[in-house]
Structure 1
Protein backbone atom coordinates (compact mmCIF):
# COMPACT_ATOMS: atom_id res chain seq x y z
CA UNK A 1 0.00 0.00 0.00
CA UNK A 2 1.37 3.44 -0.99
CA UNK A 3 1.78 5.91 1.83
CA UNK A 4 0.47 9.40 1.12
CA UNK A 5 2.63 12.26 2.39
CA UNK A 6 1.27 15.69 3.41
CA UNK A 7 2.46 18.74 1.50
CA UNK A 8 4.52 20.04 4.42
CA UNK A 9 6.60 16.86 4.37
CA UNK A 10 7.23 17.27 0.64
CA UNK A 11 8.40 20.83 1.28
CA UNK A 12 10.79 19.63 3.98
CA UNK A 13 12.12 17.08 1.48
CA UNK A 14 12.66 19.84 -1.10
CA UNK A 15 14.47 22.03 1.44
CA UNK A 16 16.65 19.14 2.57
CA UNK A 17 17.34 17.88 -0.95
CA UNK A 18 18.24 21.28 -2.39
CA UNK A 19 20.46 21.93 0.62
CA UNK A 20 22.22 18.61 0.11
CA UNK A 21 22.70 19.47 -3.56
CA UNK A 22 24.36 22.84 -2.89
CA UNK A 23 26.39 21.28 -0.08
CA UNK A 24 27.72 18.79 -2.64
CA UNK A 25 28.38 21.47 -5.27
CA UNK A 26 30.15 23.94 -3.00
CA UNK A 27 31.76 21.43 -0.63
CA UNK A 28 33.30 19.44 -3.48
CA UNK A 29 34.42 22.69 -5.10
CA UNK A 30 36.23 23.77 -1.96
CA UNK A 31 37.76 20.33 -1.55
CA UNK A 32 38.84 20.24 -5.19
CA UNK A 33 40.56 23.62 -4.87
CA UNK A 34 42.59 22.28 -1.93
CA UNK A 35 43.53 19.06 -3.75
CA UNK A 36 44.71 20.42 -7.09
CA UNK A 37 45.74 23.60 -8.86
CA UNK A 38 44.70 22.19 -12.24
CA UNK A 39 41.35 23.71 -13.35
CA UNK A 40 40.37 20.58 -15.28
CA UNK A 41 40.95 18.28 -12.31
CA UNK A 42 39.06 20.66 -10.04
CA UNK A 43 36.11 20.73 -12.40
CA UNK A 44 36.18 16.96 -12.77
CA UNK A 45 36.04 16.47 -9.00
CA UNK A 46 33.23 19.00 -8.73
CA UNK A 47 31.22 17.39 -11.54
CA UNK A 48 31.66 13.82 -10.28
CA UNK A 49 30.70 14.66 -6.71
CA UNK A 50 27.67 16.66 -7.84
CA UNK A 51 26.43 13.95 -10.18
CA UNK A 52 26.80 11.17 -7.63
CA UNK A 53 25.15 13.19 -4.87
CA UNK A 54 22.31 14.22 -7.16
CA UNK A 55 21.53 10.61 -8.03
CA UNK A 56 21.33 9.62 -4.36
CA UNK A 57 19.20 12.65 -3.43
CA UNK A 58 16.69 11.95 -6.20
CA UNK A 59 16.39 8.26 -5.37
CA UNK A 60 15.84 8.97 -1.68
CA UNK A 61 13.46 11.93 -1.92
CA UNK A 62 11.51 11.36 -5.14
CA UNK A 63 8.83 9.23 -3.41
CA UNK A 64 8.07 12.14 -1.07
CA UNK A 65 8.26 15.30 -3.19
CA UNK A 66 9.24 14.23 -6.69
CA UNK A 67 12.76 15.52 -5.90
CA UNK A 68 12.48 18.65 -8.01
CA UNK A 69 15.31 20.44 -6.14
CA UNK A 70 14.93 23.24 -8.66
CA UNK A 71 12.37 26.05 -9.02
CA UNK A 72 12.22 25.82 -12.82
CA UNK A 73 11.45 22.10 -12.61
CA UNK A 74 8.59 22.85 -10.22
CA UNK A 75 7.30 25.61 -12.51
CA UNK A 76 7.32 23.30 -15.53
CA UNK A 77 5.71 20.50 -13.54
CA UNK A 78 2.70 22.60 -12.53
CA UNK A 79 2.46 24.16 -16.00
CA UNK A 80 2.23 20.71 -17.57
CA UNK A 81 -0.36 19.58 -15.04
CA UNK A 82 1.83 17.37 -12.90
CA UNK A 83 0.70 18.93 -9.62
CA UNK A 84 -1.45 21.82 -8.36
CA UNK A 85 -0.22 25.41 -8.66
CA UNK A 86 -0.61 25.91 -4.93
CA UNK A 87 2.30 23.53 -4.34
CA UNK A 88 4.60 26.29 -5.59
CA UNK A 89 3.85 28.32 -2.46
CA UNK A 90 5.68 25.66 -0.46
CA UNK A 91 8.13 24.22 -2.97
CA UNK A 92 9.78 27.45 -4.16
CA UNK A 93 10.63 28.92 -0.73
CA UNK A 94 11.84 25.52 0.44
CA UNK A 95 14.17 25.20 -2.55
CA UNK A 96 15.62 28.70 -2.26
CA UNK A 97 16.11 28.46 1.51
CA UNK A 98 17.60 24.99 1.23
CA UNK A 99 19.97 26.14 -1.50
CA UNK A 100 21.36 28.91 0.71
CA UNK A 101 21.58 26.77 3.84
CA UNK A 102 23.52 24.07 2.01
CA UNK A 103 26.12 26.62 0.93
CA UNK A 104 26.45 28.07 4.43
CA UNK A 105 26.99 24.56 5.77
CA UNK A 106 29.63 23.81 3.13
CA UNK A 107 31.49 27.01 3.97
CA UNK A 108 31.38 26.23 7.68
CA UNK A 109 32.53 22.60 7.60
CA UNK A 110 35.51 23.52 5.43
CA UNK A 111 36.60 26.24 7.83
CA UNK A 112 35.51 29.21 5.75
CA UNK A 113 33.36 32.09 6.95
CA UNK A 114 29.70 30.92 6.87
CA UNK A 115 28.83 33.80 4.53
CA UNK A 116 31.28 35.18 1.97
CA UNK A 117 29.77 36.97 -1.03
CA UNK A 118 31.32 35.67 -4.22
CA UNK A 119 33.42 37.89 -6.46
CA UNK A 120 33.49 35.41 -9.36
CA UNK A 121 32.15 37.05 -12.51
CA UNK A 122 30.57 34.63 -15.01
CA UNK A 123 28.62 37.26 -16.93
CA UNK A 124 29.38 36.88 -20.64
CA UNK A 125 27.12 36.18 -23.62
CA UNK A 126 28.64 32.70 -23.82
CA UNK A 127 27.81 31.95 -20.19
CA UNK A 128 24.21 33.13 -20.66
CA UNK A 129 23.87 30.97 -23.75
CA UNK A 130 25.32 28.09 -21.79
CA UNK A 131 22.68 28.52 -19.10
CA UNK A 132 19.89 28.48 -21.66
CA UNK A 133 21.28 25.29 -23.19
CA UNK A 134 21.95 23.66 -19.82
CA UNK A 135 18.48 24.38 -18.45
CA UNK A 136 16.69 23.44 -21.66
CA UNK A 137 18.53 20.13 -21.73
CA UNK A 138 17.83 19.39 -18.08
CA UNK A 139 14.11 20.09 -18.41
CA UNK A 140 13.92 18.07 -21.63
CA UNK A 141 15.63 15.07 -20.01
CA UNK A 142 13.35 15.17 -16.97
CA UNK A 143 10.02 15.66 -18.70
CA UNK A 144 10.73 13.53 -21.75
CA UNK A 145 11.36 10.61 -19.39
CA UNK A 146 8.48 11.56 -17.09
CA UNK A 147 6.07 11.56 -20.05
CA UNK A 148 7.10 8.08 -21.17
CA UNK A 149 7.63 4.56 -19.86
CA UNK A 150 11.26 5.20 -18.86
CA UNK A 151 10.36 7.34 -15.83
CA UNK A 152 12.39 5.09 -13.54
CA UNK A 153 15.53 6.25 -15.33
CA UNK A 154 15.07 9.91 -14.32
CA UNK A 155 17.52 9.77 -11.39
CA UNK A 156 20.43 8.32 -13.30
CA UNK A 157 19.70 10.37 -16.43
CA UNK A 158 19.56 13.68 -14.54
CA UNK A 159 22.71 12.89 -12.56
CA UNK A 160 24.58 11.91 -15.71
CA UNK A 161 23.34 14.95 -17.63
CA UNK A 162 24.42 17.43 -14.94
CA UNK A 163 27.84 15.82 -14.52
CA UNK A 164 28.39 15.94 -18.29
CA UNK A 165 27.00 19.47 -18.64
CA UNK A 166 29.70 20.77 -16.28
CA UNK A 167 32.01 20.22 -19.26
CA UNK A 168 29.89 20.81 -22.37
CA UNK A 169 28.36 24.14 -21.30
CA UNK A 170 30.37 27.32 -20.86
CA UNK A 171 28.52 28.18 -17.63
CA UNK A 172 29.28 24.76 -16.04
CA UNK A 173 25.53 24.16 -15.93
CA UNK A 174 23.98 25.93 -12.97
CA UNK A 175 20.54 25.32 -14.57
CA UNK A 176 18.86 26.01 -11.24
CA UNK A 177 17.86 29.38 -9.70
CA UNK A 178 18.09 28.01 -6.14
CA UNK A 179 21.62 26.76 -6.74
CA UNK A 180 22.60 30.07 -8.36
CA UNK A 181 21.24 31.99 -5.36
CA UNK A 182 23.06 29.77 -2.88
CA UNK A 183 26.37 30.03 -4.69
CA UNK A 184 26.35 33.81 -4.24
CA UNK A 185 27.24 33.16 -0.60
CA UNK A 186 30.58 31.43 -1.14
CA UNK A 187 33.70 33.15 -2.40
CA UNK A 188 35.20 29.84 -3.46
CA UNK A 189 35.73 27.76 -6.60
CA UNK A 190 31.96 27.25 -6.99
CA UNK A 191 30.88 30.83 -6.32
CA UNK A 192 29.04 33.29 -8.54
CA UNK A 193 28.70 37.01 -7.95
CA UNK A 194 25.23 38.50 -7.34
CA UNK A 195 25.04 40.36 -10.66
CA UNK A 196 25.74 37.24 -12.68
CA UNK A 197 23.27 35.19 -10.64
CA UNK A 198 20.54 37.77 -11.26
CA UNK A 199 21.11 37.66 -15.03
CA UNK A 200 21.31 33.86 -15.05
CA UNK A 201 17.69 33.69 -13.81
CA UNK A 202 15.99 34.88 -17.03
CA UNK A 203 18.35 32.67 -19.04
CA UNK A 204 17.27 29.68 -16.95
CA UNK A 205 13.59 30.53 -17.40
CA UNK A 206 14.06 30.79 -21.17
CA UNK A 207 15.85 27.47 -21.19
CA UNK A 208 13.12 25.85 -19.11
CA UNK A 209 10.44 27.03 -21.53
CA UNK A 210 12.40 25.65 -24.49
CA UNK A 211 12.97 22.32 -22.76
CA UNK A 212 9.30 21.99 -21.79
CA UNK A 213 8.16 22.80 -25.32
CA UNK A 214 10.51 20.17 -26.76
CA UNK A 215 9.29 17.54 -24.29
CA UNK A 216 5.67 18.17 -25.26
CA UNK A 217 6.56 18.24 -28.96
CA UNK A 218 8.42 14.94 -28.79
CA UNK A 219 5.96 13.20 -26.48
CA UNK A 220 2.49 14.63 -27.27
CA UNK A 221 -0.59 13.35 -25.53
CA UNK A 222 1.20 12.13 -22.43
CA UNK A 223 0.86 13.85 -19.10
CA UNK A 224 4.11 14.51 -17.31
CA UNK A 225 4.20 13.18 -13.78
CA UNK A 226 7.24 13.51 -11.54
CA UNK A 227 6.12 10.67 -9.35
CA UNK A 228 5.69 11.28 -5.65
CA UNK A 229 3.14 10.35 -3.05
CA UNK A 230 2.29 13.85 -1.86
CA UNK A 231 -1.16 14.61 -0.58
CA UNK A 232 -2.57 18.04 -1.46
Structure 2
Protein backbone atom coordinates (compact mmCIF):
# COMPACT_ATOMS: atom_id res chain seq x y z
CA UNK A 1 0.00 0.00 0.00
CA UNK A 2 1.31 3.48 -0.90
CA UNK A 3 1.76 5.82 2.05
CA UNK A 4 1.76 9.62 1.84
CA UNK A 5 3.65 12.02 4.10
CA UNK A 6 1.81 14.35 6.46
CA UNK A 7 2.30 17.39 4.24
CA UNK A 8 0.55 15.73 1.29
CA UNK A 9 -2.20 14.36 3.52
CA UNK A 10 -2.82 17.79 5.04
CA UNK A 11 -3.02 19.38 1.59
CA UNK A 12 -5.49 16.67 0.51
CA UNK A 13 -7.62 17.44 3.58
CA UNK A 14 -7.52 21.17 2.87
CA UNK A 15 -8.33 20.69 -0.81
CA UNK A 16 -11.17 18.29 -0.10
CA UNK A 17 -12.74 20.49 2.57
CA UNK A 18 -12.34 23.53 0.31
CA UNK A 19 -14.13 21.87 -2.61
CA UNK A 20 -16.81 20.47 -0.31
CA UNK A 21 -17.60 23.88 1.18
CA UNK A 22 -17.41 25.57 -2.23
CA UNK A 23 -20.03 23.06 -3.38
CA UNK A 24 -22.29 23.56 -0.35
CA UNK A 25 -22.13 27.36 -0.49
CA UNK A 26 -21.96 27.71 -4.27
CA UNK A 27 -24.86 25.37 -5.00
CA UNK A 28 -26.88 27.18 -2.33
CA UNK A 29 -26.21 30.52 -4.03
CA UNK A 30 -27.06 29.10 -7.45
CA UNK A 31 -30.27 27.51 -6.17
CA UNK A 32 -31.33 30.71 -4.42
CA UNK A 33 -30.64 32.66 -7.62
CA UNK A 34 -32.65 30.33 -9.86
CA UNK A 35 -35.72 29.75 -7.72
CA UNK A 36 -37.69 31.19 -4.81
CA UNK A 37 -39.01 27.75 -3.95
CA UNK A 38 -37.12 26.80 -0.77
CA UNK A 39 -37.74 23.08 -1.21
CA UNK A 40 -36.41 23.15 -4.77
CA UNK A 41 -33.40 25.20 -3.67
CA UNK A 42 -32.66 22.67 -0.91
CA UNK A 43 -32.96 19.81 -3.40
CA UNK A 44 -30.36 21.43 -5.66
CA UNK A 45 -28.08 22.05 -2.70
CA UNK A 46 -28.51 18.45 -1.55
CA UNK A 47 -27.78 16.77 -4.88
CA UNK A 48 -24.65 18.82 -5.50
CA UNK A 49 -23.26 18.12 -2.03
CA UNK A 50 -23.94 14.38 -2.13
CA UNK A 51 -22.40 14.04 -5.59
CA UNK A 52 -19.30 16.01 -4.64
CA UNK A 53 -18.75 13.88 -1.54
CA UNK A 54 -18.67 10.72 -3.67
CA UNK A 55 -16.07 12.29 -5.96
CA UNK A 56 -13.87 13.77 -3.24
CA UNK A 57 -13.77 10.64 -1.06
CA UNK A 58 -12.97 8.49 -4.10
CA UNK A 59 -10.06 10.60 -5.35
CA UNK A 60 -8.59 11.86 -2.06
CA UNK A 61 -9.42 8.97 0.26
CA UNK A 62 -6.31 6.99 -0.78
CA UNK A 63 -4.13 9.97 0.17
CA UNK A 64 -5.46 11.25 3.50
CA UNK A 65 -8.45 9.08 4.35
CA UNK A 66 -10.77 11.86 3.12
CA UNK A 67 -11.97 13.01 6.53
CA UNK A 68 -12.72 16.66 5.58
CA UNK A 69 -14.27 16.86 9.04
CA UNK A 70 -12.71 17.53 12.47
CA UNK A 71 -15.26 15.26 14.16
CA UNK A 72 -14.24 12.36 11.91
CA UNK A 73 -10.53 13.05 12.44
CA UNK A 74 -11.10 13.10 16.21
CA UNK A 75 -12.85 9.72 16.04
CA UNK A 76 -10.03 8.20 14.00
CA UNK A 77 -7.52 9.62 16.46
CA UNK A 78 -9.37 8.14 19.43
CA UNK A 79 -9.61 4.72 17.78
CA UNK A 80 -5.89 4.95 16.92
CA UNK A 81 -6.34 4.96 13.17
CA UNK A 82 -4.91 8.49 12.93
CA UNK A 83 -1.78 9.19 15.03
CA UNK A 84 -2.30 11.86 17.68
CA UNK A 85 0.70 13.80 16.34
CA UNK A 86 -1.07 14.18 12.97
CA UNK A 87 -4.37 15.46 14.37
CA UNK A 88 -3.41 19.17 14.63
CA UNK A 89 -2.34 19.27 10.97
CA UNK A 90 -5.61 17.67 9.89
CA UNK A 91 -7.69 20.10 11.94
CA UNK A 92 -5.86 23.19 10.69
CA UNK A 93 -6.11 21.96 7.09
CA UNK A 94 -9.84 21.32 7.40
CA UNK A 95 -10.72 24.68 8.96
CA UNK A 96 -8.50 26.66 6.58
CA UNK A 97 -9.76 24.69 3.60
CA UNK A 98 -13.36 25.35 4.62
CA UNK A 99 -12.85 29.11 4.82
CA UNK A 100 -11.08 29.13 1.45
CA UNK A 101 -14.03 27.18 0.03
CA UNK A 102 -16.43 29.91 1.13
CA UNK A 103 -14.17 32.56 -0.40
CA UNK A 104 -14.02 30.61 -3.66
CA UNK A 105 -17.81 30.32 -3.83
CA UNK A 106 -18.25 34.04 -3.18
CA UNK A 107 -15.72 34.98 -5.85
CA UNK A 108 -17.43 32.73 -8.41
CA UNK A 109 -20.74 34.52 -7.81
CA UNK A 110 -19.28 38.04 -7.55
CA UNK A 111 -20.12 38.40 -3.85
CA UNK A 112 -17.99 40.03 -1.14
CA UNK A 113 -15.02 37.82 -0.25
CA UNK A 114 -16.50 37.05 3.17
CA UNK A 115 -19.75 38.00 4.91
CA UNK A 116 -21.09 37.35 8.38
CA UNK A 117 -24.13 35.11 8.21
CA UNK A 118 -27.40 36.25 9.73
CA UNK A 119 -29.42 33.05 9.23
CA UNK A 120 -30.74 31.81 12.59
CA UNK A 121 -30.08 28.14 13.31
CA UNK A 122 -30.44 27.39 17.00
CA UNK A 123 -32.57 25.59 19.57
CA UNK A 124 -32.85 22.07 21.02
CA UNK A 125 -34.32 20.55 17.86
CA UNK A 126 -31.44 21.90 15.75
CA UNK A 127 -28.84 20.69 18.24
CA UNK A 128 -30.43 17.25 18.52
CA UNK A 129 -30.56 17.09 14.73
CA UNK A 130 -26.81 17.68 14.61
CA UNK A 131 -26.21 14.94 17.18
CA UNK A 132 -28.25 12.53 15.06
CA UNK A 133 -26.69 13.68 11.78
CA UNK A 134 -23.11 13.34 13.00
CA UNK A 135 -23.80 10.09 14.82
CA UNK A 136 -25.17 8.62 11.60
CA UNK A 137 -22.28 9.91 9.50
CA UNK A 138 -19.63 8.42 11.78
CA UNK A 139 -21.58 5.16 12.09
CA UNK A 140 -21.79 4.89 8.30
CA UNK A 141 -18.07 5.56 7.92
CA UNK A 142 -16.98 3.07 10.59
CA UNK A 143 -19.34 0.35 9.36
CA UNK A 144 -18.45 0.98 5.73
CA UNK A 145 -14.73 0.67 6.43
CA UNK A 146 -15.39 -2.54 8.39
CA UNK A 147 -17.59 -4.30 5.85
CA UNK A 148 -17.42 -2.62 2.40
CA UNK A 149 -14.54 -0.19 2.14
CA UNK A 150 -14.89 0.42 -1.60
CA UNK A 151 -18.48 1.55 -1.09
CA UNK A 152 -17.63 4.23 1.51
CA UNK A 153 -17.73 7.18 -0.97
CA UNK A 154 -21.24 6.21 -2.05
CA UNK A 155 -22.39 5.39 1.46
CA UNK A 156 -21.30 8.80 2.77
CA UNK A 157 -22.67 10.69 -0.24
CA UNK A 158 -26.02 8.94 -0.02
CA UNK A 159 -26.23 9.35 3.75
CA UNK A 160 -25.62 13.10 3.61
CA UNK A 161 -28.10 13.41 0.74
CA UNK A 162 -30.74 11.75 2.93
CA UNK A 163 -29.72 13.60 6.10
CA UNK A 164 -30.24 16.97 4.43
CA UNK A 165 -33.94 16.06 4.40
CA UNK A 166 -34.60 14.06 7.55
CA UNK A 167 -32.87 16.45 9.98
CA UNK A 168 -34.19 19.85 11.01
CA UNK A 169 -30.68 21.32 10.72
CA UNK A 170 -30.11 20.04 7.14
CA UNK A 171 -27.20 17.99 8.46
CA UNK A 172 -24.09 20.11 8.85
CA UNK A 173 -22.42 17.21 10.74
CA UNK A 174 -19.02 18.92 10.40
CA UNK A 175 -17.45 21.64 12.59
CA UNK A 176 -15.18 22.92 9.81
CA UNK A 177 -18.09 23.24 7.39
CA UNK A 178 -20.17 24.96 10.09
CA UNK A 179 -17.45 27.58 10.68
CA UNK A 180 -17.05 28.15 6.95
CA UNK A 181 -20.81 28.56 6.54
CA UNK A 182 -20.83 31.26 9.23
CA UNK A 183 -18.85 33.38 6.76
CA UNK A 184 -21.50 33.44 4.04
CA UNK A 185 -24.75 35.37 4.29
CA UNK A 186 -26.45 33.19 1.70
CA UNK A 187 -28.77 30.17 1.54
CA UNK A 188 -26.40 27.88 3.47
CA UNK A 189 -25.28 30.37 6.15
CA UNK A 190 -25.41 30.09 9.93
CA UNK A 191 -25.00 32.91 12.45
CA UNK A 192 -21.60 32.79 14.21
CA UNK A 193 -23.39 32.99 17.56
CA UNK A 194 -25.12 29.69 16.74
CA UNK A 195 -21.85 27.85 16.06
CA UNK A 196 -21.05 26.66 19.62
CA UNK A 197 -24.30 24.73 19.93
CA UNK A 198 -23.76 23.07 16.55
CA UNK A 199 -20.13 22.19 17.17
CA UNK A 200 -20.77 20.71 20.63
CA UNK A 201 -23.67 18.66 19.22
CA UNK A 202 -21.54 17.40 16.32
CA UNK A 203 -18.69 16.31 18.57
CA UNK A 204 -21.13 14.64 20.95
CA UNK A 205 -22.79 12.74 18.11
CA UNK A 206 -19.40 11.60 16.82
CA UNK A 207 -18.30 10.34 20.25
CA UNK A 208 -21.57 8.46 20.80
CA UNK A 209 -21.09 6.77 17.43
CA UNK A 210 -17.50 5.86 18.29
CA UNK A 211 -18.55 4.17 21.53
CA UNK A 212 -21.62 2.38 20.17
CA UNK A 213 -20.09 1.27 16.87
CA UNK A 214 -16.88 0.27 18.62
CA UNK A 215 -18.94 -2.19 20.64
CA UNK A 216 -21.25 -3.22 17.82
CA UNK A 217 -18.47 -3.94 15.32
CA UNK A 218 -16.38 -6.00 17.76
CA UNK A 219 -17.31 -9.64 17.12
CA UNK A 220 -17.12 -12.16 19.92
CA UNK A 221 -16.00 -15.74 19.34
CA UNK A 222 -18.83 -18.22 19.50
CA UNK A 223 -18.16 -20.76 22.20
CA UNK A 224 -19.19 -24.23 21.20
CA UNK A 225 -20.38 -26.51 23.91
CA UNK A 226 -18.19 -29.54 24.49
CA UNK A 227 -20.19 -32.75 24.57
CA UNK A 228 -20.02 -34.52 27.88
CA UNK A 229 -17.96 -37.72 27.85
CA UNK A 230 -20.02 -40.82 27.97
CA UNK A 231 -19.80 -42.60 31.25
CA UNK A 232 -17.63 -45.67 31.01
- In the alignment of these two chains, the number of paired residues is 220
Matching residue of 1:36: 35
Kindly report which structure 2 residues correspond to 1:194-209, keeping only aligned pairs within 5 A, or say none.
Answer: 194-209=192-207
Shift of 1:221: 5.4
Query: Hey, what's the Cα distance between the residues in 2 that align with 1:73 and 1:215?
Result: 13
Match of 1:157 among 155, 158, 162: 155
Matching residue of 1:220: 218
Instruction: Give the conservation status (yes or no) of the 8 Å contact 1:144–1:218.
Output: no
Query: Hey, what's the Cα distance between the residues in 2 that align with 1:178 and 1:160?
Result: 20
Kindly report which structure 2 residues correspond to 1:93-108, keeping only aligned pairs within 5 A, or say none.
Answer: 93-108=92-107
Query: Hey, what's the Cα distance between the residues in 2 that align with 1:19 and 1:221?
Result: 38
Shift of 1:28: 0.1
Match of 2:177 among 170, 179, 189: 179
Query: Hey, what's the Cα distance between the residues in 2 that align with 1:43 and 1:27?
Result: 12
Query: Hey, what's the Cα distance between the residues in 1 that align with 2:110 and 2:147?
Result: 46
Matching residue of 1:21: 20
Instruction: Give the conservation status (yes or no) of the 8 Å contact 1:22–1:99.
Output: yes
Matching residue of 2:223: none
Shift of 1:198: 2.0
| Structure 1: gaps (5+ residues) | 223-232
Q: Which runs of 4+ in 1 moved over 6 A?
A: none
Secondary structure (helix, strand or coil) at the match of 1:187 reads coil
Shift of 1:126: 0.7
Moved more, 129-138 or 81-90: 81-90
Matching residue of 2:47: 48
Match of 1:191 among 175, 189, 192: 189
Query: Hey, what's the Cα distance between the residues in 2 that align with 1:118 and 1:66?
Result: 31
Secondary structure (helix, strand or coil) at the match of 2:155 reads helix
Higher radius of gyration, 1 or 2: 2
Length-normalised TM-score, structure 1: 0.93
Shift of 1:99: 0.5
- The structure whose RCO (Cα within 8 Å, separation 6+) is larger is 1
Query: Hey, what's the Cα distance between the residues in 1 that align with 2:120 and 2:55?
Result: 31
Shift of 1:209: 0.8
Query: Hey, what's the Cα distance between the residues in 2 that align with 1:197 and 1:104?
Result: 19
